[in-house]
Chain A
Amino acid sequence: MTDQSLAGKLAVVTGGTRSIGRAVVERLLARGASVIGTGTKPDGDVPNGCRYAQLQLENPQSVESLCRVIESEQPHILVNNAGTSSFATIEDIDLVDVERIHEMHVIAPLRLCQAAIPGMKRHRWGRIVNITAISGIWGRPTRVNYGSAKAALDGLTANLAAEMGAHGILANCVAPGFIDTDVLKRNYTEAQRKAMAESVPVKRLGTAADIANMVVFLAGPENGYVTAQNIVVDGGFGRVR
């Protein structure tokens, strides 16, 4: 017996071509959902059976064009996963970069939520999962810009959840810790990644699957009563010193 618990449901996942977003798309498809996954290029590589849409988060016109798709397709599930990191100390932060990062992590997800909510209200069922970061909860050097955007996304989600509870729409965040993705490999040497893994109580980096499993739990029918939360999936890193 295969799990078809999401049959008849449509999901939109931003950043569906690789790492966490791709793992989310795969799991949603495996449970019978139809999925639209986005990537930054005109054509992108998404898992088999997933529809592709281009989305450049820093470009408001591109965001609006995905909003039109969402308004007409009325997904039951929206996962705001796409994003990029930006590291600089407070003294070195470039305001243009602050605008870009907040455009991508706060304004664009807000617009996509706005586009998705009328349909979810009509379905009387909706699940929104926004990917935040532990940098939005615990401060670390050089994460001012990125951490503030992710904290804003969490605040946005909790307040949206307050308005949506009575409509059967649950909205949550998932805050990943150190995840072994392409981005991590690009930003850190192997020795640095090993040291990061050692600093985590479970003594390993997280995988895209670790995060995707939680996202899919929150996005599915087995979640009936979790809303307005920011669920930390970090191997114990944030809470343990």
Chain B
Amino acid sequence: MTKSLSGKLAVVTGASRGIGRAIAEQLLAQGAEVVGTSTKAGGDFPKGCRHEAVRLDDPASVASFCRTVETLAPHILVNNAGVANPQTFEAIDDAEFRRVHEINLMAPMAICRAALPGMKRHGWGRIVNISSIWGPMSRVARSTYASSKAALDGMSGCLAAEAAPHGVLVNCVAPGFTETEMIKTIFPPDKRAALAKSVPMKRLAQPEEIAKAVVWLAGVQNGYVTGQNILVDGGLSRVRET
């Protein structure tokens, strides 16, 4: 059986762990060639995944990676890498605010811009940017992160409008609480149990579950979904249980 992504090249940022690693694995399983990135060289990438070291908080590193992306001309781009660093509004540090936006917004923008000409040439492209539920919904101490992720969604909606006539579909996936290292650094175990209880499905997401939605949007089965921010959150954002 021919795999549905045979002959397609995908770029996935932050592919050495968590959601990005699961995305790379599933793209590889569907026959795509995958180039993953991580901050340091030689991270723990899935078998068969090519990789590049890119520091998204360093514009020179991003610019150099963008030249690689221009040459690679991938069919699929997943901007997955990101940082969260909760700080209350009054405690916002300007430099940290800029750094988070550099990683979560500026770098994805630059990489999308580098990937678009190739996708237009192919007459086919799929971009999936990982946004966050902290955009459609909110929580204390999320202003820096939420602002970067809401901006990423706004950018993706507009890019979708410009790219659509060229066969390029652009969407976001907004994960809810997912069992990744990121959530472990933010919440201690007892807090994570309380988080799980607050979700209608009474559990956190596994990275693979977020990846399934991303890979669906990135594949040939998606012909008509564009400009959307798809929430994969176990019902959290839409349901209030008390």
List chain A positions with a Cβ less than 8 A from chain B: 1-2, 158, 161-162, 164-166, 170, 177, 200-203, 206-207, 209-211, 213-214, 217, 222-229, 231-236, 238-240
Q: Contact between B165 and A201 (Cβ–Cβ < 8 Å)?
A: yes
Residues of A within 8 A of B199 (CB): 165
21 residue pairs bridging A and B, Cβ less than 8 Å apart = A158-B239, A161-B235, A161-B239, A177-B224, A201-B160, A206-B223, A206-B224, A207-B223, A213-B223, A225-B176, A225-B213, A227-B201, A228-B235, A229-B230, A231-B230, A233-B225, A234-B224, A235-B224, A239-B160, A240-B160, A240-B164
Which B residue's beta carbon lies closest to that of A226?
A: B232
Q: Contact between B1 and A226 (Cβ–Cβ < 8 Å)?
A: no
Stretch at the interface among B47-55, B63-71, B203-211: B203-211
Which B residue's beta carbon lies closest to that of A168?
A: B201
Is B234 located at the chain interface by the 8 A CB criterion?
A: yes
B141-181 interface with A by 8 A CB criterion: 157, 160-161, 164-165, 167, 169, 176
15 new A-B contacts at CB < 8 Å, known A166-B201, A213-B221, A239-B227: A161-B200, A162-B235, A203-B165, A207-B223, A213-B222, A224-B205, A224-B206, A225-B205, A227-B235, A228-B238, A228-B239, A231-B225, A232-B225, A232-B228, A236-B226
Residues of A within 8 A of B224 (CB): 177, 202, 206-207, 210-211, 233-235
Q: Contact between B225 and A214 (Cβ–Cβ < 8 Å)?
A: yes
* Size class of the B contact interface (CB-based, 8 Å): 35 or more
> Closest CB of chain B to A151's CB: distance in Å?
14
In the complex, A16 Cα to B86 Cα: how many Å?
Answer: 49
List chain B positions with a Cβ less than 8 A from chain A: 1, 157, 160-161, 164-165, 167, 169, 176, 199-202, 205-206, 208-210, 212-213, 216, 221-228, 230-235, 237-239, 241
Known contacts A201-B161, A207-B224, A233-B224, A228 near B200 by CB under 8 Å: yes
Q: Contact between A240 and B201 (Cβ–Cβ < 8 Å)?
A: no
Q: Contact between A222 and B216 (Cβ–Cβ < 8 Å)?
A: yes
Q: Ordered nearest first, which 7 A-B pairs have the shortest CB separation?
A: A165-B200, A201-B164, A210-B224, A224-B209, A228-B235, A236-B227, A162-B239
Interface majority SS (helix, strand, loop, mixed), chain A: loop
> Closest CB of chain B to A91's CB: distance in Å?
33
Residues of B within 8 A of A200 (CB): 164
Contacts between the two chains (Cβ within 8 Å), count: 122
Q: Which of B169, B222, B230 contacts A226 (CB 8 A)?
A: B230
Q: Contact between A203 and B209 (Cβ–Cβ < 8 Å)?
A: no
Which A residue's beta carbon lies closest to that of B26?
A: A222
Q: Contact between B164 and A203 (Cβ–Cβ < 8 Å)?
A: yes
Residues of B within 8 A of A209 (CB): 223
Which B residue's beta carbon lies closest to that of A165?
A: B200
In the complex, A238 Cα to B160 Cα: how many Å?
Answer: 12
Residues of A within 8 A of B209 (CB): 224-225
In the complex, A207 Cα to B223 Cα: how many Å?
Answer: 9
Residues of A within 8 A of B222 (CB): 213-214
In the complex, A158 Cα to B165 Cα: how many Å?
Answer: 33
Known contacts A165-B239, A213-B221, A225 near B234 by CB under 8 Å: yes
In the complex, A201 Cα to B224 Cα: how many Å?
Answer: 10
Residues of A within 8 A of B210 (CB): 225
In the complex, A209 Cα to B225 Cα: how many Å?
Answer: 12
> Closest CB of chain A to B220's CB: distance in Å?
9
